[in-house]
Amino acid sequence: MNYDVSIIGAGPGGVFCAYELLKKDPSIKVGVFEEGYPLDKRKCPIDGIKVKSCAGCRVCSIMKGFGGAGAFSDGKYNITNDFGGTLYEYIGRDKAIGLMKYVDDINVAHGGGGTRMFSTSGTPLKKTCMQNKLTLLEAQVRHLGTDVNYVVLGRIYEELKDKVDFYFETRVDTIKDTSEGFDIVCGKGTFHSRKCVISVGRSGSKWMEGICGDLGIKTMSNRVDIGVRVELPAEIFSHITDELYEGKIVYRTEKFEDRVRTFCMNPNGIVVNENTNGIITVNGHSFEDSEMKTENTNFALLVSKHFSEPFKDSNGYGESIARLSNMLGGGVIVQRFGDLERGRRSRKKRIEEGTVRPTLAATPGDLSLVLPKRILDGIIEMIYALDKIAPGTANDDTLLYGVEVKFYNMEVELDDTLQSRHKGLYIIGDGSGVTHSLSHASASGVFVAREIAGA
Ligand SMILES: Cc1cc2nc3c(=O)[nH]c(=O)nc-3n(C[C@H](O)[C@H](O)[C@H](O)COP(=O)(O)OP(=O)(O)OC[C@H]3O[C@@H](n4cnc5c(N)ncnc54)[C@H](O)[C@@H]3O)c2cc1C
């Protein structure tokens, strides 16, 4: 055997799994296989000057490499069972929260100590939301910020690098179940390990589908969230973001009773492109460093689409909509809310004349040509609902970037130890469909490490 445990993917799930394995048993032999680069070599070529949009790199440095999709994220670690995944359904609510708090302690000990923990407990905003047909979800959130998150990951890597064998730029091709363990087949050869933890995240979703097919592991897929990223002057949401950093607010539309929610709120942040399997969508983040802050706040408004039999390809549906925006805009489209309401496309001049200065160079266009009517109607309704608790949200100059798609990995059939039907093969993090966030993915890594170490 080369390893006691091999881990595929060095995102938060894989990294925290390796960290906890070594903590529980310093003699354990762990190999981590990662398609992307080490942290210090991860560099997205978009600089806003020479390269303004996605260059379609062979290995996307935003999504792949040490730290996974979380490396350049906003570093918001939410401690909650209300959103971010369904880990609690497997391991219980208290245990899930306990593990998320443990992950927070590790982050704090590795450079996150100076950052703030926000909480919804006791906030008057909850009542204001209720009075306006909105629901504020409960959570504690530590905002590391993209910069501090990077420092924390760097320190964790320094601690692990001499104890774990990291194989970067190493895409695992396939996994074989042998009677004694697992063969990890990649460009650098075939490695044998007693146990295997798969943590390939969202960027590994297609690969995961193939592996599940090969190994006869059942999967289910029926959800995708589609919407836009809203950008407006930071003052409009400051009473919410100063207190909570991020308000996770849900609205049920009057017309269709669809659920629309705010997602990934970035006070004084920037809007960014995201490349998922070659499709350009929109996302956002912000920095802890005051010099990197902008005058705008951004957040997504997403509508959940659940499909029932016989349709199975919910991600394919989301991809088709994103492709449509890529086809019309060459990437992400931006539109003023006032233009959307008047049924006309935005043009460069109208955006330049507006009061909101866009933080992403996107193509001015018409989102109504891209988003299905039902989804667009839900988003417009929610903008007016938010306008009641944050007046100014429905201003003409508010910018909407589209499309934002939150793809959900198909859910993989796992037992309550996150083990597949192959004994010794664990599937964690976003790649399992169980988690959709930094804190849940990390917690799932710690959980499985403890299962393996027998603690
Ligand atoms: C721009 C952005 C901002 C975000 N902001 C936040 C936030 O503020 N808060 C939050 O909770 N969540 C945020 N998220 C989501 C969060 O990053 C993910 O939920 C989290 O990273 C999931 O962790 P993971 O370990 O499961 O997978 P990932 O982080 O996706 O890591 C998976 C790793 O596996 C590797 N891999 C895939 N396939 C293979 C293969 N075949 N062989 C070898 N390696 C492979 C990939 O290269 C990748 O590095 C954000 C995501 C993005 C893209």
Determine the residue type at 10. Answer: A
Atom 3, ligand 1: residue with shortest CA distance:
73
State which ligand 1 atom lies nearest to the alpha carbon of 12. Answer: 25
Write phi, then psi, for 53 (nearest 5 degrees).
-135, 175
Residue located via tokens 């306006």: 132
CB 182 within 8 A of CB 3: no
Token pair listed for 5: 């445990």
Atom 9 in ligand 1: which residue has the minimum CA distance?
Answer: 76
Cβ atoms 454, 21 nearer than 8 A: no
Q: Looking at ligand 1, which atom is closest to the CA of residue 59?
A: 47
Atom nearest to 202 CA in ligand 1: 30
How far is residue 93's CA from residue 82's CA, in Å, rounded to a whole number? 10
Residue 441 Cα to ligand 1 midpoint, Å, equals 9
Ligand 1 binding pocket (C-beta < 6 A) is 8-14, 33-36, 64-65, 68-70, 73-76, 78, 84, 171-172, 199-204, 207, 264, 274, 283, 285, 429-431, 436-439, 441
Distance in Å, CA 87 to ligand 1 centroid = 16
| Tokens of residue 40, six digits | 């210090």
Q: Write out the two tokens for 397.
A: 């100059």
Per-residue model confidence (pLDDT) at position 408: 84
Buried b (16+ CB within 10 A) or exposed e, 244-276: bbbbbbbbbbeeeebbbbbbbbbbbbbbbbbbb
Tokens of 404: 């934002």
Residue of the CA atom closest to atom 7 of ligand 1: 76
Ligand 1 binding pocket mutation candidate from 32, 149, 175, 203 (most atoms within 8 A of CB): 203
Exposure b/e, 98-126, CB count within 10 A at least 16 = b: bbbebbbebbbebbbeebeebebeebebb
Per-residue pLDDT at 455: 60
Pocket test for ligand 1, best of 35, 57, 198 (most atoms within 8 A of CB): 35
Instruction: Give CA angle at 182 (178, 184), nearest 5°.
Output: 125
Q: Which atom of ligand 1 is nearest to the CA of 33?
A: 43
pTM metric for this prediction: 0.85
Atom of ligand 1 nearest to the CA of 445: 25
CA-CA distance, 364 to 349, in Å (whole number)? 9
> Distance between CA 245 and CA 147 in Å, rounded?
16
Cα dihedral 340→343→348→351 (10° resolution): -40
Per-residue three-class SS string for the chain: CCEEEEEECCCHHHHHHHHHHHHHCCCCCEEEECCCCCHHHCCCCCCCCCCCCCCCCCCCCCCCCCCHHHCCCCCEEEECCCCCECHHHHHCHHHHHHHHHHHHHHHHHHHHCCCCEEECCCCCHHHHHHHCCEEECCCEEEECHHHHHHHHHHHHHHHHCCCCEEECCCCEEEEEECCCCEEEEECCEEEEEEEEEECCCCCCHHHHHHHHHHHCCCEECCEEEEEEEEEEEHHHHHHHHHHHCCCCEEEECCCCCCEEEEEEEECCCEEEEEEECCEEEEEEECCCCHHHCCCEEEEEEEEEEECCCCCCCHHHHHHHHHHHHHHHHCCCEEEEHHHHHCCCCCCHHHHHHCCCCCCCCCEECCHHHCCCHHHHHHHHHHHHHHHHHCCCCCCCCCEEEEEEEEECCCEECCCCCCECCCCCEEECCHHHCCECCHHHHHHHHHHHHHHHHCC
Residue-level pLDDT, tens digit, the chain, 455 residues: 799 999 999 999 999 999 999 999 999 999 999 999 999 999 988 876 788 777 888 899 989 999 999 798 878 999 999 999 999 999 999 999 999 999 999 999 999 999 999 999 999 999 999 999 999 999 999 999 889 999 999 999 999 999 999 999 999 999 999 989 999 999 999 999 999 999 999 889 889 999 999 999 999 877 899 999 999 999 999 999 999 988 999 999 998 899 999 999 999 999 998 887 788 999 998 877 788 899 999 999 999 988 887 887 888 899 999 999 999 988 899 999 999 999 999 999 999 999 999 999 999 999 999 999 999 999 999 999 999 999 999 999 999 999 999 888 889 999 999 999 999 999 999 999 999 999 999 999 999 999 999 96
Q: Classify residue 158 by burial, with Cβ atoms within 10 Å: 0-12, 13-18, 19+.
A: exposed
Atom of ligand 1 nearest to the CA of 65: 49
For residue 24, the CA-to-ligand 1 centroid distance in Å is 25
Ligand 1 centroid – CA 260 distance (Å): 24
Ligand 1 atom, smallest distance to 431 CA: 26
Cα 409 to averaged position of ligand 1 atoms, centre (Å): 12
Residue nearest to atom 17 of ligand 1 (CA): 70
Ligand 1 centroid to 12 CA: how many Å? 7
Q: Rg of the chain over CA atoms, in angstroms? A: 21
> Are 441 and 199 contacting, i.e. CB atoms less than 8 angstroms apart?
yes
